[in-house]
Amino acid sequence: MQIRDTKEIYQQLKKARIKILVPLIFSTITSYFCFIWVIAFNSKFFGTLIFDTNISIGIFLGFLLILLIFLITLIYVYLANKILEPLINKIQKNA
């Protein structure tokens, strides 16, 4: 009975992990590829200065990309602690 419970919890862990990782990986890869795509095919756009400052659109969007990746990391840590860790602890308790 205990082995069956552990297997079911492990299956829940695998499903929860996939539900968390797939959207986060997709958003990370999409944002990076879009940024690189603009650099490759329309680099003059990133060289445009914002209003009358010395900051270009490329610098600004690069900074936003770094913030986005930081936010994605925070979301993953939060969801892993809230969803994945309790399942891992149940598996360890049953083992």
pTM of the model: 0.86
Give the Cβ contact number of residue 55 at 10 Å.
11
Predicted confidence at residue 59, as pLDDT, reads 95
- pLDDT tens for 10-37 read 999 999 999 999 999 999 999 999 999 9
pLDDT value at residue 89 = 93
Tell me the pLDDT of the chain averaged across its residues: 93
| Whether residue 44 has pLDDT greater than 80 | yes
Q: Is the pLDDT of residue 8 over 60?
A: yes
Domain regions of the chain by residue span: 2-94
